[in-house]
Structure 1
């Protein structure tokens, strides 16, 4: 099953939030765009603080703590490109605006994206809330309701494979997604094959998916 967004679907998703005149919608627009631009895992993203983002805007690299990364073996880093910078600046401004009306407890770090727990206490937006908000915007955009934040990570990998003009797009994707080996990144070549098959079916008017055609042909050959 396809677990990423095409170029058209990305535009639909982001515009569904961007065109909504509501502070929460604008917040969601910026974090959805940022996840597509970084491919960061949602558990990792949800732990980002305003302090980390300020440092990233100054240094040009967004670095997440290793204890917040998968496997907890090393810190991940993401290049702050111009598009990503714009979204991070917008999220930081929204975070600062809300923080000005709240009293942070001693030692509490200001999150990049604010949310509330079940008791109404302000803190970082939870992973479950990210999932719910993404599904809400996907539904509004007429997209697959099974979408999850991890789809945006796969979308980052696919965007690199589609758009890269270098000789080794797969290695670029590996570094961008902080994969330990190319074996993990190889999934995006399979996804590219899926896109190719879909386009060829549209061009030629095919009706039967390749895997089904193979199964039919093999079963007939064995008969």
Structure 2
């Protein structure tokens, strides 16, 4: 969902610019502009990657996913696995992301087993090649830690997914919401932020500048896979 604007090393494509500009100069013509054009195009032909396309992100998309349903707690919380229903729901998360065309460039996941399993199963149904980054700050479960994780994302990332836990996922969602987004989604999110919940925000700022009230809620969903 993240949108981009593209800038180039030369107006239009370099090849068409060279054809148009140099082609309009006669072989005898020795003006400074023609000389400059010939020199530029000569360098480009020798090194075609010199003026490679540059992608500049203008609108970013942040996706906050709470892990799917886990087995009952034990002594080692981080080792809890997904319950059968959670495994089915995790696949449904991936299918929902695919239907919404929310393929990420970067995914950051809590080290807890239930979160890692959630993303592994979701990614299989989404069909993404993005390798998850495991970050313990998501397991620390505070809004401040999540904002720090987001702030570490490279500037050219258009769509970023976090997979983590409550209460911090729900708290971050409510912190980011500027109130201008989808009202039905806001109402549903305010009702509950259950396991497998997904909140999608349009972000107009740099990742490093993300603050409260900086996001517009565009989607909220709780995909279910029908497992037992």
TM-score under structure 2 normalisation?
0.26
| Structure ranking higher on relative contact order (CA contacts 8 Å, 6+ apart) | 2
Question: Which structure is larger by alpha-carbon Rg, 1 or 2?
Answer: 2
TM-score under structure 1 normalisation?
0.26
Counting strand residues as a fraction of each chain, which structure ranks higher?
Answer: 2
